[in-house]
């Protein structure tokens, strides 16, 4: 079909950003025969954050760090690991591009997109790796104009470097993207921010052999997680050699000839820590700058995200926002579900929404991983539940021989259960395979499986799942009779 216009290219669907949710919609609509244009700013980001600078490379580094033995040279092992991880990301990136651009009705354009109106986007192709793909003949100067019936904003988020004197200007400050691409292992790594990102990197780089100092301005790391599990996680991190400094107010960063010095205040006293590399790990902010959202009439929130409703529509009904850019928890699997919601609007009955999400799990990939779903004990009590708590240290769960087989019996499992209905309200799992186990618990919560049913189910042996046979029978405290 002829999709040219007097001003450029017309598409049924325009997707800005090659993230998980947007690419899911683009691929599906392409299979339905719709004319789709997918714009990605960087040729190094085909597939989005996860396979290139997020989940895949960082979790691959977790794997490689676990494999280093005490006698393995840290720098040599790290350099080899980074090379393998980069090769893996390149493989994913090429596969993502080929699978998308190979569709008959889908065109991938590499350039920077800016709204010129509610239905119009101009793509700047002046960048070094810019590529207009199979619509190069429609480029005027360095720009391609695309009009579309439906537009998806899927631009993700970028790391925040906090406004601490000297931090942004320091030659030794890096963001996570830069750190995982360097082949030089920092001898002394300081991490500013003890959220999931900061803690994961602390665990990874300590295992590679760096001396790691983790700074957190609040009095406790992981303040939103279960108290018992956090205490156990802190003990594991500190036992591995991570120095955790909480209640730390960083005053400034000073660059020296061979190092940077972090000046911080704790309990009224001033202290310093020297580092070869400083990782800014204070979270990620939605990428909305330079998109021209005002020209499109798209509203944003006070926190700097694109404003959406429960169906992910923006203030312009034909424009949707998916993934990190729409605010809220920043998880790839939620971006994927965002894609399902939008697809339901475009090619389904339109009933699916973010309100359908129940018991969404999360995992912190330290070693062993910390995974959680639902309510913590404190949250359950504050919500008015009478609860019973099933909890056991992994080393004491006789029904879980796998932890001994793989030689890691650290951690604990804890379930928060409604004392009257026996419904599982939440769980926190700090153990080997926790990132997998938590999905089973989440499914149980969504479908009303009771704690007794989960406890008495038949699981294969020897597996981590069969730990549920044991821990759910160990009630350590109860509000019931």
Q: Where along the chain do the CATH 3.30.390.30 domains lie?
A: 362-478
Per the DSSP assignment, residues forming a β-bridge with 371 are 363, 429
Query: Of the candidates 311, 305, 438, 310, which has an alpha carbon nearest to the alpha carbon of residue 368?
Result: 438
Question: Could you tell me the CATH superfamily of domain 173-282?
Answer: FAD/NAD(P)-binding domain (3.50.50.60)
Angle (CA) 168-271-169 rounded to 5° is 10
Q: What is the pLDDT of residue 480?
A: 63
Tell me whether the omega of the peptide bond preceding residue 368 falls within 30 degrees of 0, making it cis: yes
CA dihedral sign, ordered 307, 127, 8, 339 = negative
Helix, strand, coil percentages, rounded to 5, for the chain: 35, 30, 40
- From residue 34, how far is each of 82, 183, 355 by CA, in Å? 40, 43, 28
Q: Is residue 374 part of an annotated ligand binding site?
A: no
Amino acid 7: pLDDT: 56
pLDDT mean across residues, the chain:
93
Dihedral sign for Cα atoms in the order 88, 90, 94, 97? positive
**pLDDT (tens digit, 9 = 90+) per residue, 439-463?**
999 999 999 999 999 999 999 999 9
Among 65, 110, 41, 56, residue whose Cα is nearest residue 87: 56
pLDDT at 330: 87
Helices (H), 114-252: 176-179, 196-208, 227-239
Cα angle, residue 59 at apex, residues 407 and 234 outer, rounded to 5°: 60
Using a pLDDT cut of 90, give the percent of the chain over it: 84
171 in a known ligand binding site: no
* Closest C-alpha among 106, 108, 155 to residue 298: 155
Question: H helices within 180-331, ranges in order?
Answer: 196-208, 227-239, 293-296
Q: Which helix (H) or strand (E) holds 243?
A: strand 243-246
From CA 4, how far away is CA 401, in angstroms rounded? 64
pLDDT exceeds 80 at position 101 = no
Output the CATH code of domain 362-478.
3.30.390.30
Cα–Cα distances in angstroms (integers) from residue 396 to residues 410, 428, 471, in the given order? 10, 16, 9
148's enclosing H/E stretch is strand 143-153
Q: What is the largest CA-CA distance in the chain?
A: 77
Is residue 2 predicted with pLDDT exceeding 50? no
Coil/strand/helix, residue 226 = coil
Count CB atoms within 10 A of the CB of residue 69.
6
Peptide bond into 370 cis (omega under 30): no
Above 90 in pLDDT, residue 51? no
Helices (H), 103-182: 176-179
Look at 52-56, 164-168, 287-291, 461-465 and tell me which has the smallest mean pLDDT. Answer: 52-56
8: its two tokens = 């450029």
pLDDT reading at 313 higher than 80: yes
178 is in an annotated binding site: no
168-196 confidence digits (pLDDT tens):
999 999 999 999 999 999 999 999 999 99
User: Which of the two residues, 147 and 71, has the higher pLDDT score?
Assistant: 147
What CA–CA distances, in Å, run from 262 to 105, 169, 252, 348? 53, 13, 6, 54
Say what the pLDDT of residue 47 is.
Answer: 83
What's residue 6's pLDDT?
46
Name the CA radius of gyration of the chain, rounded: 24
Distance (Å, rounded) from C-alpha 320 to C-alpha 428?
A: 34
CATH number of 4-158+285-356: 3.50.50.60
**Distance from CA of residue 71 to its chain's centroid?**
32
- Residue 271: active-site member: no
Average pLDDT over residues 103-114: 91
198 is in an annotated binding site: yes
Model pLDDT, residue 481: 54
- Cα–Cα distance between 38 and 15 in angstroms, integer? 5
To the question of whether residue 195 is assigned a binding role by annotation, the answer is yes
324 is an annotated ligand-binding site residue:
yes
Q: What stretch(es) of the chain map to CATH 3.50.50.60?
A: 4-158+285-356, 173-282
Annotated ligand binding at 46? The verdict is no
216 in a labelled binding site: yes
Q: Is 350 known as a binding-site position? A: no
**Catalytic entry in 224, 271, 318, 461:** 461
As a dihedral over the C-alpha atoms of residue 197, residue 203, residue 208, residue 210, rounded to 10 degrees, the angle is 90
Over residues 226-232, mean pLDDT = 96
In this predicted structure, the answer to whether residue 1 has a pLDDT above a threshold of 70 is: no
Question: For the CA atoms of 390, 395, 399, 400, what is the dihedral angle to 10 degrees?
Answer: 110
What residue has token string 């010129």?
116
Q: What is the pTM of this model?
A: 0.92
């Amino acid at each position: 079909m002829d999709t040219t216009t007097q001003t450029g290219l017309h598409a049924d669907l325009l997707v800005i950003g090659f993230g998980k949710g947007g690419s899911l919609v683009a691929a599906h609509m392409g299979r339905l025969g719709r004319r789709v244009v997918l714009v990605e700013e960087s040729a190094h980001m085909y597939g989005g954050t996860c396979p290139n600078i997020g989940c895949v490379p960082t979790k691959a580094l977790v794997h490689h760090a676990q494999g280093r033995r005490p006698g393995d040279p840290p720098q040599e092992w790290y350099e080899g690991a980074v090379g393998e991880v980069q090769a893996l990301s390149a493989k994913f990136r090429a596969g993502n591009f080929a699978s998308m651009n190979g569709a008959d009705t889908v065109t991938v354009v590499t350039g920077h997109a800016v709204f010129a109106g509610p239905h119009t986007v101009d793509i700047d192709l002046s960048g070094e790796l810019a590529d207009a793909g199979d619509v190069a003949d429609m480029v005027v100067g360095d720009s391609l104009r695309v009009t579309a019936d439906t537009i998806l904003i899927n631009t993700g988020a970028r790391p925040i470097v906090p406004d601490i004197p000297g931090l942004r200007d320091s030659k030794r400050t890096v963001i996570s993207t830069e750190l995982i691409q360097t082949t030089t292992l920092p001898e002394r790594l300081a991490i500013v921010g003890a959220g999931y990102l900061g803690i994961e990197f602390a665990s990874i780089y300590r295992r590679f052999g760096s001396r790691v100092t983790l700074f957190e301005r609040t009095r406790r790391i992981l303040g939103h997680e279960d108290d018992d599990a956090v205490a156990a996680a802190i003990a594991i991190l500190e036992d591995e050699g991570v120095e955790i400094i909480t209640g730390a107010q960083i005053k400034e960063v000073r660059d020296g000839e061979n190092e940077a010095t972090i000046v911080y205040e704790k309990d009224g006293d001033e202290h310093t820590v020297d580092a070869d590399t400083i990782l800014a790990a204070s979270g990620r902010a939605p990428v909305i700058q330079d998109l021209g959202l005002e020209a499109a009439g798209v509203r944003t929130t006070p926190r700097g995200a694109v404003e959406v409703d429960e169906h992910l529509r923006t203030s312009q009904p034909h424009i949707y926002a998916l993934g990190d850019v729409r605010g809220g928890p920043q998880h790839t699997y939620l971006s994927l579900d965002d894609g399902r919601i939008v697809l339901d609007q475009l090619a389904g009955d339109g009933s699916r929404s973010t309100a359908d999400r129940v018991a969404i799990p999360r995992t912190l990939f330290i070693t062993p991983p910390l995974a959680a779903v639902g309510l913590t004990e404190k949250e359950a009590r504050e919500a008015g539940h009478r609860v019973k708590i099933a909890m056991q240290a992994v080393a004491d769960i006789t029904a879980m021989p796998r932890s001994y087989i793989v030689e890691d019996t650290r951690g604990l499992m804890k379930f928060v259960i409604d004392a009257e209905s026996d419904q599982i309200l939440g769980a926190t799992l700090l153990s080997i395979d926790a990132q997998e186990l938590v999905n089973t618990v989440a499914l149980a919560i969504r479908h009303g499986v009771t704690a007794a049913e989960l406890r008495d189910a038949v699981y294969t042996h020897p597996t981590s799942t069969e730990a549920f046979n044991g821990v759910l029978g160990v009630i350590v405290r109860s509000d019931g009779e």
